[in-house]
Amino acid sequence: MAGITAFGAYLPKFRLTKQTQGWSAPGERTVANFDEDSVTMAVAAGRDCLAGVRRQSVGGLLFATTTPAYFEKQGASTIAAALDLPRDIFSEDIAGTLRGGTSALRAAVDAVNGGSAKTVIVAAADCRLAYPKSAMEQSLGDGAAALAIGDTNVAVEVEAASFITEHMMDVWRNTEQTYVTTGEDRFIAEEGYLTAMTDAIASLLKKTRLTPKDFTKAVYYSPDLRRHGDLARRLGFTANQVQDPLYGKVGNTGTAFPLMLLVAALETANPGDRILLAGYGDGADAYSLRVTEHIKKAKRGRRGIAKHLETGAPMADYEEFLRWRELLEREPARRPDPQPISIQASWRDRERNLNLHGARCKSCKRIHYPPQPICGFCQSSDGWDAVRLADKKGTIVTFSMDYLAGTTDVPMVIAVVNFAGGGRFLGMLTDREIDAIKVGMPVEMSFRKLGVIGGIHNYFWKTVPIRS
């Protein structure tokens, strides 16, 4: 029987908090950096999930989001390249619905049970926008979650599922709209959210002959904290059973929300626990999940939700957040416009740019990045073996700061990094705090967006200080 064999999550480093000038909300929420989007966050969650998982066993990738980088081009293919997954996998974007994460879970389970793939990765991420200073903006958050679905060493069995599909204009955004739009609160809660979620969960309980008391944890989507509590009371779950929805800490992360809460619940789960999982959007999905003895192994070596929560940093100014989202105009750099992106060069260099493959000389075993036709150490031309550098940690050898580069994040920091085990990388340092940068600082790699030129999202790897 297919189930969850590994899991991971990602929360951006920066938060809007009480310390943020111009931010008046009582709680805090996560904020993706200016060079992050749903694709980069899905990559980060996928890397967390794949710790200890053999990449060659992966046969599929499903990416769920309502904020895709493109409306006509897969985000899943970019994520698969950054995760260094095999080329002969199936991939698909599940977009346009907040229920995409839980729907992708169903599709992945069916694929594994049907023999289409040994392991399928489900990645969900969102970076949604609401009107500035609105109540919805205060309740939203940015983040991602990833699950590995397989049939060997299953840590969480999928016992049963129930589904409701229903047309409801409650939350929407078309291609011409920047901000999420909602209908009247009471109507969409009573006739939409509460009705669909109650019906789906009631159907699941009837099918399995279970009661709310049979579940250790209830994990479910909610549009806000109030409705989260309303549903718990309507269904008869006690406060101890309900997973913390992370409002006031993270916020509503859209498509990723229920899966992120599931990851948080699994971090403290024990063998034998039964978990209710439910997602919402034009209907509802409900699952009965059973934790097995393999959960202990599945927890190891992952940052998940808890460790990411511990390593956040407040943004200094709310206006900076608006600039990151290009909602506040700024004077353009007094420099020539950037050159168009060559799609031919991007395709040709995809292994070093997206996979971040270096090369190990077959003669002297020294590592080069980018790969060179002749080894710079032993001058051999006997050939190379590909080396994945994205998962290696390193230390800063030297760095520079450019206050005139015209970047969104001033100053632009360029660092030379030596990887543990060999290899050197020259690139941007992001998620940094200027006063903390120093030679010898430990860093790791992070998949980010360099910019958008001519409608093309230019993804590459940057270095970030290790969050600890």
Same domain as 294, residue 181: yes
Asked if 76 and 93 touch (Cβ cutoff 8 Å), the reply is yes
pLDDT tens digits in sequence order for the chain, 468 residues long? 899 999 999 999 999 999 999 998 889 999 999 999 999 999 999 999 999 899 999 999 999 999 999 999 999 999 999 999 999 999 999 999 999 999 999 999 999 999 999 999 999 999 999 999 999 999 999 999 999 999 999 999 999 999 999 999 999 999 899 999 999 999 999 999 999 999 999 999 999 999 999 999 999 999 999 999 999 999 999 999 999 999 999 999 999 999 999 999 999 999 999 999 999 999 999 999 999 999 999 999 999 999 999 999 999 999 999 999 999 887 777 778 888 888 999 999 999 999 999 999 999 999 999 998 899 899 998 889 999 999 999 999 999 999 988 788 899 999 999 999 999 999 999 999 999 999 999 999 999 999 999 999 999 999 999 997
H/E run at residue 452 = strand 442-453
Q: Which two structure tokens, joined as six digits, stand for 24? A: 């008046």
Same domain as 239, residue 176: yes
Q: Which two structure tokens, joined as six digits, stand for 399? A: 């760095």
Phi (first) and psi of residue 414, to 5 degrees = -110, 125
Domain that holds residue 13: 3-324
Confidence at residue 164, expressed as pLDDT on a 0 to 100 scale: 96
Asked if 91 and 28 touch (Cβ cutoff 8 Å), the reply is no
At which residue do the structure tokens 């995409």 appear? 100
Domain boundary among the residues 268, 291, 324 is at 324
Task: Tell me how far CA of residue 364 lies from CA of 159, 177, 345, 390, in angstroms.
Answer: 53, 56, 29, 22
Q: Is residue 118 part of a domain?
A: yes
SS3 content of the chain, % helix, strand, coil (to 5): 25, 30, 45
Same domain as 303, residue 383: no
At which residue do the structure tokens 């309980």 appear? 205
* Alpha helices (H) in 114-255, listed in sequence order: 135-139, 185-187, 194-208, 225-235
Asked if 288 and 204 touch (Cβ cutoff 8 Å), the reply is yes
Same domain as 291, residue 165: yes
Same domain as 259, residue 146: yes
Instruction: State how beta strands 90-95 and 181-182 pair.
Output: unpaired
Name which of 70, 113, 122 is nearest 91 in CA terms.
122
Confidence at residue 290, expressed as pLDDT on a 0 to 100 scale: 98
Q: Is residue 254 part of a domain?
A: yes
Q: Is residue 318 part of a domain?
A: yes
CATH of residue 405:
2.40.50.840
Handedness of CA 348, 350, 351, 356 (dihedral sign): positive
Same domain as 301, residue 180: yes
Rg (alpha carbons) of the chain, rounded to whole number: 22
Same domain as 294, residue 356: no
Q: Spell out the residues 6+ positions from residue 287 whose beta carbon is closer than 8 angstroms to its own.
A: 102, 105, 158, 159, 160, 161, 204, 276, 277, 278
3-state secondary structure of 255: helix
Asked if 457 and 70 touch (Cβ cutoff 8 Å), the reply is yes
Domain boundary among the residues 258, 289, 324 is at 324
CATH of residue 82:
3.40.47.10
Residue 244 gets which letter from DSSP?
P
Q: Spell out the residues 6+ positions from residue 415 whose beta carbon is closer than 8 angstroms to its own.
A: 396, 397, 398, 399, 426, 427, 428, 429, 437, 443, 463
Q: Is residue 332 part of a domain?
A: no
Handedness of CA 178, 252, 266, 102 (dihedral sign): negative
> Angle CA(374)–CA(376)–CA(378) in degrees, nearest 5?
85
H/E run at residue 160 = strand 156-165
Same domain as 180, residue 82: yes
Same domain as 177, residue 87: yes
Confidence at residue 458, expressed as pLDDT on a 0 to 100 scale: 95
Confidence at residue 13, expressed as pLDDT on a 0 to 100 scale: 97
Domain boundary among the residues 324, 356, 373 is at 324
Q: Is residue 188 part of a domain?
A: yes
Confidence at residue 24, expressed as pLDDT on a 0 to 100 scale: 86
Same domain as 228, residue 82: yes
- Chain length of the chain: 468
User: What is the pTM assigned to this prediction?
Assistant: 0.97
Number of domains in the chain: 2
Asked if 413 and 451 touch (Cβ cutoff 8 Å), the reply is no
Same domain as 169, residue 273: yes
DSSP letter for each residue of 317-357:
BHHHHHHHTT-S--PPPSSPPPPPP-HHHHHHTHHHHTS-E
Same domain as 357, residue 230: no
Confidence at residue 329, expressed as pLDDT on a 0 to 100 scale: 82
> Angle CA(48)–CA(42)–CA(174) in degrees, nearest 5?
160
Q: Is residue 334 part of a domain?
A: no
Cα 183–chain centre separation: 28
C-alpha–C-alpha distance, residues 302 and 8, integer Å: 6
Q: Which two structure tokens, joined as six digits, stand for 260? A: 């992120």
Q: Is residue 372 part of a domain?
A: yes
**For helices 225-235 and 194-208, angle between their N-to-C axes, nearest 10 degrees:** 40
3-state secondary structure of 222: coil
Task: Tell me how far CA of residue 314 lies from CA of 36, 248, 328, 431, in angstroms.
Answer: 17, 13, 20, 12
Q: Is residue 333 part of a domain?
A: no
